[in-house]
Each structure stands twice: as structure tokens, then as C-alpha cells.
Amino acid sequence: MVVKIFADGARLEDMLAAHKVGSVSGFTTNPTLMRKAGITDYKGFAHKVLEQIKDVPISFEVFADDLPTMKTQALEIASWGENVYVKIPVSNTKGISTAPLIHDLAKSGVKLNITAIFTLEQVSEVVDALSPDVSAFVSVFAGRIADTGVDPLPLMKTALEICKKKPKAELLWASPREVLNIYQADEMGCHIITVTPDLVSKLSLQGKSLAEFSLETVQMFYRDANAAGFSL
């Protein structure tokens, strides 16, 4: 596949394992994933990761809600390593666009990952704010778009065309819901897709015989029924 697979998570052991086997091309995190992983020392966790993973992109997100403090945090995070991409939400919690901040940071040479994008209007605004000379990820939450009953593929294809306006902007398919999304992202030419460890493990099923898969499923049901001691 051409699409690059980034692991989405905040468990250090999972990140190191994926990096060791070379199954992914980068990593992304966010405050929600960190909280679920029980992380309380944001900076300490980031430095532990960066001490051991230096050769692939890793995204760490700002968590302030006003643009001046976001900028301060972004510059601090960017200083942690050459492979660091700073995640900036497309707006703050009041719906105020972060495009001016994106422009300032990109102009300063900060590599960015613009996150929580759901609309083509947001894609256009973000891409316009990026620098043609600085790498950036444009993260469109295709999975959450699909959760609303909207097919994300047409939107993603248009977003890909918009990203071509900036040669170093890469479209990222965020929040996939199934392995099929990886193949869809690859087929449409999306640059990156973020995946959880459970989806990565299912990539080994590519090309598997459906008849064989069916039989294995029946055998699983039979085995588990016996193990549970069911009777009628």
C-alpha cells in the first residue's frame, strides 16, 4: 500500500512495539488518549517517547483554549524534537478559527498537524494558512463524519485536491472505523491514515479465503459454547 499508517494511541509500550517491528510510519496522540492511558505528566510522557523514537513523525497536541497560549505551547512542543508535529485544533472551544495561529506557526517553520477537521470549508481555510515550504498534516475525521450517516469518501477526495495547493501538506484520514477504511484511503491516494492497534493487527487478514474465514468462525462459536458449558 502507498498510504502511510500512523498509530493512534498513548501507551508507551504499544508505541515502542509498533516502532520496533516497523509496522507503522508515524504516531499521533491527543489529550483524550493520554487521559485514557492514565498519563498525568504530559511533558514527561512526551520526552520518554521521543528519547526512544526519533526517526518517524510524532504528533503532540496543544491543550490551551486561547490562541496566544496555544502559540506558547506549540513553540514549546515543537522544540522537543525534529520529528515532532504540533497538533492544533481547527478551532477553539468557542468555535473561533485557529487559522491565524496556523499561519503564524507555519511561517515560523513549525511542523503542524491540524486536527478535528470535518468540513471542506475548514480544509480550505487550513490549507490556505499553511506554508508551501513546511510539512503539515491536514487531519480530516472521516470516521466521525461516517458516524453521522454521511459517506466521507467524496469529501476526502475533494480534500485531497485542495491539499495539492500546498506541496508539503499531506491529507490524513483520521478516526477510521474498520480495516476497509485503510484500503479506501490507499485507493483514493490519501497520504496518511491513523489506526488503532486492533486495526493494524487485522491487516494480516488481507487476501484470506472467505470460505476458510467462515469455517473458522463456526469453529469459534462451537468451541466457546463448549467452553462455557452451555446445555438446553
Residue of 4, 71, 87, 111 with catalytic role: 87
pTM for the complete prediction?
Answer: 0.94
List, for residues 149-188, the tens digit of each pLDDT value.
999 999 999 999 999 999 999 999 999 999 999 999 999 9
CA-wise closest residue to 128 among 142, 141, 114: 114
- Pull the grid cell for residue 211: 470460505
Residue 109 to residue 150: CA distance in whole angstroms: 35
Tell me what pLDDT residue 209 has.
97
Report the C-alpha gap between 63 and 225 in whole angstroms: 47
Active-site annotation holds for 202 = no
Residue-wise pLDDT for 100-115, tens only, equals 999 999 999 999 999 9
Under the banding of pLDDT at 50, 70 and 90, the label for residue 117 is: very high
User: Which CATH fold would you assign to the domain 4-205?
Assistant: TIM Barrel (3.20.20)
